[in-house]
Structure 1
């Protein structure tokens, strides 16, 4: 019997794919937007691409801690949106807002599900990562060390926040004033669909 060409991805497996995508996307954005010096990043292979990820232990631990918690919330279908905002250190103004919307795939009644292969999913993720890389061609130039980043999660009101000071309830959506928005390609598993959008401050 020939080996199957498609594999069923569980809800947990789909959640893991999304969490990894967010982690590599955050690293790519921080590198491409020059939030930290290029020397703080190293090359890794992922999705058939060469990606840049931080090797600064503090930043790496910070991102990983958030992604671990986010993964738990995605598994339990408690998150609808993940946001990375880039903020001017001096003024506190949000200059870029990277928004990733998470939707559960709804199968129509009587529709037979077609299992999506890992290879197909990775090709879709490749396309988004390439768009993030190419975004420097239209996004305003940011000076290194003048900006920092924050992570926002739109979660169900029933979620329990971890017992630390790193997650807090916020009424501030960190929107960009006088902004332009660009929608990127999406990717999907059998369980989820992720849409990506970046909003950025227009030059006056």
Structure 2
């Protein structure tokens, strides 16, 4: 039986729901905006006060549901440090874009690429109470940035595949359905930081690395 205070458990459950839901819409938005899947395999849905595109392709939906269920477990156990969406050249396997979502959990520190899960970078933890409306507005701002990404990201003039990478605590066991992977960085790429959002439990900082036309 868990000894975690009821109020803390409830807050963690609600915050985790927000983060998992955001990840789902963010991944769908990137896959749509970057043309990884054909536009006709997406349908428009109203969320966060804006229109978002969500896949209607059965196999992709099933895959994302399974991934997000695992992400939910990691978040509830405070094990998830980063979720990364990699877009790679389907022919060569070279990474062309890398969308990273850093996860900072109440009382912990954000872990950056290349750092051990137990290392802290000295950033402050979240202490400010947030209203539901404020959280939704912050999430909306990130989704809007993803939607607008086509205005600054290079054209993907090749067939691309995607992969989701999860960074967890070193103590966290690797699930049977997952396998170890290298970071899949963008070689000689450019990095752009996006907006962030936070609940009183989690803070998510987003960014994208991409290969320029002359790289």
Which category describes the TM-score, using the shorter chain as reference length?
Answer: 0.7 to 0.9
Pairing 1:45-124 to 2, within 5 Å after superposition: 45-106=46-107, 114-124=128-138
CA distance in 2, matches of 1:173, 1:85: 9
Q: Where does the alignment leave 5 or more consecutive residues of structure 1 unmatched?
A: 1-7, 108-112
- Tell me the alpha carbon deviations over residues 142-179 of structure 1, each in whole angstroms, 9 at most, x when there is no partner: 136x1010000001122233333xx1022x10000111
* TM-score normalised by length of structure 1: 0.88
Indicate the RMSD between aligned Cα atoms, in angstroms: 1.6
User: Which among 154, 161, 167 is matched to residue 140 of structure 1?
Assistant: 154
CA distance in 2, matches of 1:90, 1:56: 22
Shift of 1:135: 0.8
Q: Aligned residue for 2:174?
A: 161
Higher relative contact order (CA 8 A, sep 6+): 1
Q: Aligned residue for 1:110?
A: none
CA distance in 1, matches of 2:192, 2:200: 26
Q: Where does the alignment leave 5 or more consecutive residues of structure 2 unmatched?
A: 1-7, 109-126
CA distance in 2, matches of 1:122, 1:156: 28
Size of the alignment, in residue pairs?
188
CA distance in 1, matches of 2:66, 2:32: 19
* TM-score normalised by length of structure 2: 0.83
Shift of 1:13: 1.1
Residues 183, 114 of structure 1: CA spacing in aligned structure 2 closer, same or farther, 3 A cutoff?
closer
Shift of 1:192: 1.0
Residues 114, 182 of structure 1: CA spacing in aligned structure 2 closer, same or farther, 3 A cutoff?
closer
Contact 1:34-1:143 within 8 A present in 2 as well? no
